[in-house]
Amino acid sequence: NEDLLKKSEQLAMIGQLAAGVAHEIRNPLTTIKGFLQLMKESAEDDFHLQVIQGELDRIEIITNEFLALAKPRAVHFSMTSLTTLLTSSVEFIKMECLKQGVDVRFSVEEAEIYCDSHQIKQVVLNVMKNALEALPDGGLLSVQLEKENGCAKISIQDNGAGIPPERMKHLGEPFYSTKEKGTGLGLMICQKIIKEHNGSFSIQSNVNEGTIVTILLPIAGKE
Ligand code: ADP
Ligand code: MG
């Protein structure tokens, strides 16, 4: 789809520009912080300097986070236990599930694949986050890992509102979101990462029943 390609090119462009801006902010910030430190050493009442320091710290955190997001990371493939990866991902969202009254059903076989574990974890967390967001009043989140035809099969299922058919075709389009605070980037990133791992990413959904995301990753992995 030509339109989609254009959109994702624009997106990559925006990402690069934004990372450039964040980088440019970081350099003068370092200088300012250095001089502020000197001023604090000679000042009598440093209350105002303390406030400035606090605000500078905040800018620094935001620019760093932003750079981490926008900057393409070096890809690092290694043999990874999906069992461990899924376990720590579920651990990561556990508090949120508890708060929301979401029960987690976890059933995993052992499976190792050759992958960029950071990226695969990003995919899994994105999908789990969507599932949680589909369960604002509680429900069931089920995470499954099994081996099937030389693939590791990860299934992440929720019993939330589901996705009506007319919305299905828009999933994965950049900025397509039905959420007030959504970015509409999650699924696009997931699809891209799984494709780069020679895997497949699919979504099945029924309105009022829920959604199931299935991720297949080759166990041999190295192409
Ligand atoms: P975002 O989460 O920021 O909206 P995503 O790319 O992650 O962006 O998802 C795009 C859209 O797909 C969501 O806004 C939502 O409409 C739909 N969606 C994704 N996962 C689910 C799910 N588990 N249940 C219902 N709708 C979903
Ligand atoms: Mg999302």
> What does the pLDDT look like over 132-177, one tens digit per residue?
999 999 999 999 999 999 999 999 999 999 999 999 999 988 778 8
CA 35 – ligand 1 centroid, Å: 46
Residue 24 binned pLDDT confidence (cut-offs 50, 70, 90): confident
Sign of CA dihedral 86, 87, 93, 97: positive
Which residue has the least CA distance to atom 3 on ligand 1?
A: 182
Token duo for residue 28: 């003068």
SS3 of the chain: helix, strand, coil, percent, to 5? 50, 20, 25
- Residue 41 has which token pair? 């050493």
Does the pLDDT at position 18 exceed 90? no
In this predicted structure, the answer to whether residue 221 has a pLDDT above a threshold of 60 is no
> Are the beta carbons of 211 and 162 closer than 8 angstroms?
yes
pLDDT for 223 beyond 50: no
Q: pLDDT digit string (tens) for 85-123?
A: 999 999 999 999 999 999 999 999 999 999 999 889 989
Cα 82 from Cα 48, distance rounded (Å): 50
C-alpha distances out from residue 103 to 29, 40, 93, 125, 141, Å:
45, 51, 11, 16, 6
Q: Which atom of ligand 1 is nearest to the CA of 176?
A: 10
* Cβ atoms of residues 199 and 215 within 8 Å: yes
Q: Cβ contacts of residue 132 below 8 Å, gap of 6+?
A: 93, 96, 97, 100, 102, 141, 158
Six token digits for residue 37 = 């430190």
* Ligand 1 pocket list (CB less than 6 A): 126, 130-131, 134, 158, 160-161, 163, 171, 176-179, 182-187, 211
CA 132/CA 139 separation, integer angstroms: 9
Over residues 67-81, the pLDDT tens digits come to 766 656 677 899 999
Q: Which of 166, 173, 209, 212 is nearest to 190 (CA)?
A: 173
pTM of the shown model? 0.74
ipTM confidence score: 0.99
